[in-house]
Chains A and B, each alone.
Chain A
Amino acid sequence: MTAITTSGLTKRFRGGQLAVDHIDLEVPHGSVYGFLGPNGSGKTTTIRMLLGLAFPTSGSATLLDVPMPGGATRVLHRVGSLVEGPAFYPFLAGRDNLARYDAADATADPATSRARIDEALDRVGLLAAAKKRYRNYSLGMKQRLAIAAGLLRPRELIILDEPTNGLDPQGTREVRALIRQIAADGTTVFVSSHLLAEVEQICTHVGVMRTGRLVFSGSLPELRRTGAARVTVQTAEPEAAAKVLAGLGLADVQAAVASADAHAEASAALGDASPEQVCAELVQAGIGVRGFAVTSPSLEDLFVGLTGEGFDVSA
Chain B
Amino acid sequence: MSALRFYGSELRLVVLRRRNLLLLAVTAVFPLIIGIALRLAAPHPQGGNGAGVAFFNQLAGNGVFLTFIALSTLLVLILPVVVAVVAGDSIAGEAGYGTLRYLLAVPAGRTRLLAVKYGVIVTFGLCATFIVSAVALIAGAALFPVGPVTLLSGATISLPAGLLRLLFVTLYVAAAMAALGAIGLAISTLTEHAIGAIAAVVIFVVTSEVVDNVPQLAAVGPYLPTHWWLSFDSLLRVPVDTSTLLRGLLSFAVYALLFGSFAWARFTSADVTS
Contacts and interface: CB of A to CB of B under 8 A. Distances in A.
B99 A88 contact: yes
Interface string A150-181: 00000000000000000000000000000000
Contacts of A101: 102-103, 106
B107 A52 contact: yes
Given A55-B269, A103-B5, A104-B6, A76 B107 contact: yes
Interface string A88-118: 1111100000011101111110100000000
Closest 9 CB pairs of A and B: A87-B98, A103-B9, A76-B107, A54-B271, A104-B108, A106-B2, A53-B272, A73-B109, A104-B106
Interface residues of A, number: 32
B92 to A, nearest CB: 14
B220 interface: no
B104 interface: yes
Given A53-B271, A103-B9, A107-B2, A76 B17 contact: no
B99 A106 contact: no
Interface in A36-73: 48, 51-55, 72-73
Given A53-B272, A83-B101, 9 more contacts: A48-B272, A51-B105, A81-B105, A87-B97, A90-B97, A101-B103, A104-B6, A105-B108, A106-B3
B242 interface: no
Contacts of B104: 51-53, 72
A79 B113 CA distance: 19
Interface residues of B, number: 28
11 contacts: A48-B101, A54-B271, A72-B104, A72-B107, A87-B98, A87-B102, A101-B102, A103-B5, A104-B108, A105-B107, A107-B2
B127 interface: no
A181 to B, nearest CB: 21
A76 B105 contact: yes
A85 interface: yes
Contacts, number: 87
B271 A83 contact: no
B271 A55 contact: yes
Interface string B113-145: 100000000000000000000000000000000
B112 interface: yes
Contacts of A88: 97, 99, 102
A89 B99 CA distance: 7
B157 to A, nearest CB: 45
Nearest to A110: B5
Given A85-B98, A88-B99, A54 B272 contact: yes
Contacts of B271: 48, 53-55
B13 interface: yes
Contact of A53 (B8, B9, B105, B269): B105
A84 interface: yes
A230 interface: no
Given A88-B99, A104-B9, A54 B108 contact: no
Most interface-central of A92, A99, A106, A110 (chain B CB within 10 A): A106
Nearest to B3: A106
B109 A87 contact: no
A149 B2 CA distance: 19
B159 to A, nearest CB: 43
A51 B2 CA distance: 21
B46 to A, nearest CB: 50
B86 to A, nearest CB: 15
B109 A53 contact: no
Interface in B1-45: 2-3, 5-6, 8-10, 13, 17-18
A77 interface: yes
B103 A104 contact: yes
B94 to A, nearest CB: 9
